[in-house]
Amino acid sequence: MGSVLVLYDSKTGNTAKMAGYVAQGAGEIPETQVRLLSVDEASADDIFWCDGMAVGSPTYVGVLSWKMKRFWDEVVPKVWGKTDGKIACAFSSSGGWGGGAELTCLSLHIMLMNFGFLVFGIPDYTGEAFTLHYGAVVAREPRREEEIAACRRLGKRLAQWVAVYVDGRREHRPGPIKQR
Ligand SMILES: Cc1cc2nc3c(=O)[nH]c(=O)nc-3n(C[C@H](O)[C@H](O)[C@H](O)COP(=O)(O)O)c2cc1C
């Protein structure tokens, strides 16, 4: 059934913690296979393997980290033209709120769109005045309940879209199901 890759870069462990929660969320959808890999471990084969990918990076000067960019620059050109239609989303840990985590998600989206990934956001709130419209964002490590829930929600939603659009399992569609 659906395969989800959670790919992340993390120097001091914060984005890695987010990635762990994202992977947990993806695992909530039955029959979803989940791989959790850092950019140091992942290869082009992992990109081929997955139907959907959550990509996480620390916020570095308002955008994705150099290591994540290098991964896509150097490793993934092997898959150029072969990733169209895979589903993707983003997450980021920054040093502080307003430090550019959402911009980092957008920079990841731009990169993924370049490879033909179908990128999505999430309108839900996971706590009071706390949302993940452009991906899950956290200042430093995810600690509060709503921050952890946002990471899990992102992974779960990714696995749901994979179940619906890749495997045709319409019962996993979030929100109202269109009657035919
Ligand atoms: C080179 C560099 C640039 C950074 N730029 C920003 C930034 O623009 N905005 C911000 O809020 N935090 C910035 N930070 C802080 C990191 O985003 C933050 O510490 C993050 O939690 C690190 O994630 P990690 O533990 O997964 O490595 C920067 C850190 C480094 C090392």
Q: What is the pLDDT of residues 115-137, one digit of tens each?
A: 999 999 999 999 999 999 999 99
Q: How far is the CA of 12 from the centre of ligand 1 (A)?
A: 9
Cα–Cα distance, 177 to 180 (Å, whole number):
9
Crossing angle of the two packed helices 14-26 and 145-161, in degrees rounded to 10: 50
Instruction: Report the half-sphere exposure of 151 (CA within 13 A, side-chain side).
Output: 27
Cα–Cα distance, 30 to 1 (Å, whole number):
9
CATH architecture under which domain 3-172 falls: 3-Layer(aba) Sandwich (3.40)
Are the CB atoms for 5 and 136 separated by under 8 Å? no
CA nearest ligand 1 atom 31, residue:
60
User: Once rounded to an integer, what is the mean pLDDT over residues 138-153?
Assistant: 98
pLDDT > 70? residue 174: yes
175 versus 164: which is more confidently predicted? 164
Spell out the domain ranges in the chain. Answer: 3-172
The pair of structure tokens assigned to 151 is: 């990471």
What's the confidence (pLDDT) of residue 1?
86
H-helix segments, the chain: 14-26, 44-49, 66-70, 101-114, 145-161
Tell me which of 39, 57, 60 to substitute to probe ligand 1's pocket, judged by most ligand atoms within 8 Å of the beta carbon.
60
Q: How far is the CA of 36 from the centre of ligand 1 (A)?
A: 21
What's the confidence (pLDDT) of residue 177?
65
CA nearest ligand 1 atom 8, residue:
61
The pair of structure tokens assigned to 128 is: 């009071």
Cα–Cα distance, 63 to 105 (Å, whole number):
8
Q: How far is the CA of 138 from the centre of ligand 1 (A)?
A: 11
User: Once rounded to an integer, what is the mean pLDDT over residues 141-162?
Assistant: 98
User: Once rounded to an integer, what is the mean pLDDT over residues 50-54?
Assistant: 98
- Based on DSSP, count helices (H) and strands (E) in the chain, helices before strands: 5, 8
Look at residue 151 and give its three-state secondary structure.
helix
